[in-house]
Amino acid sequence: MNRGIFITIEGVEGVGKSTNIEFIKKYLDNLNIDYLVTREPGGTLLAENIRDLLLSIDDDSPVELCELLLIFSARAQHIQKVIEPALERGIWVICDRFTDATYAYQGGGRGMNTGLISELETMVQGSLRPDLTIILDLDPETGLRRARNRGELDRFEREHVEFFIKVREAYLQIATDFPKRCAVINAGKELGEVSRDIALLLKTRLFEE
């Protein structure tokens, strides 16, 4: 049995990750590929509880190091309980954010030491890395407007636009540093155009090698 393919979807707030994941699901359905969709932080009961802690707005929000360690704690649970077992069974995994988000948000946005993030990445993931990372790119101001239109904002969505500018820059740097794994999709286009770009990407990266 072939190992499953691990696809991660990344981007700042409001880029349309959920909508485009729905398109990817339909694309894989048409090819009769078994897959599961999950998210980070989250994916298991314990990891979802950690997610609630990270996103909640209260008087005792986690300090930066606590935030980072909580994210990797949730990731450890997620990998061992969900991601690795699925991949080993030949099931494709589509994950709404993964470790690139940590480099972008905690490394880029918060300015945390990326060396520390890298150490935790190796400790928690071992050799596990996505086969394909789709970075949905959008001007942060546009993304934040979209996020506000969805309803009440969580703790991260309430950050200033300058924070998300740094996050976006970090994502684009990741795409530059890892061109074989990452692909940037312009999420500012009309939805149909974005879907076509993703379909072409999936076809060329995963089915024509």
Answer yes or no: is 108 a known binding residue: no
Answer yes or no: is 14 a known binding residue: yes
With vertex at residue 23, the alpha carbon angle to CA 204 and CA 77, rounded to the nearest 5 degrees, is 90
Torsions phi, psi for 153 (to 5 deg): -90, 145
Answer yes or no: is 11 a known binding residue: yes
Answer yes or no: is 184 a known binding residue: no
Answer yes or no: is 161 a known binding residue: no
Q: Return the closest-CA partner of residue 58 out of 162, 158, 160.
A: 158
Answer yes or no: is 118 a known binding residue: no
Answer yes or no: is 81 a known binding residue: no
Determine the Cα–Cα distance for residues 55 and 147; give it in Å rounded to an integer: 14
**CA 1, chain centre distance (Å):** 27
Q: Return the closest-CA partner of residue 5 out of 206, 191, 200.
A: 206
Residue by residue, DSSP assigns 100-167 as HHHIIIIIIIT---HHHHHHHHHHHHTT---SEEEEEE--HHHHHHHHHHHSS--TTTTS-HHHHHHH
Answer yes or no: is 192 a known binding residue: no
Binding residues for ATP: 11-18
Binding residues: 11-18
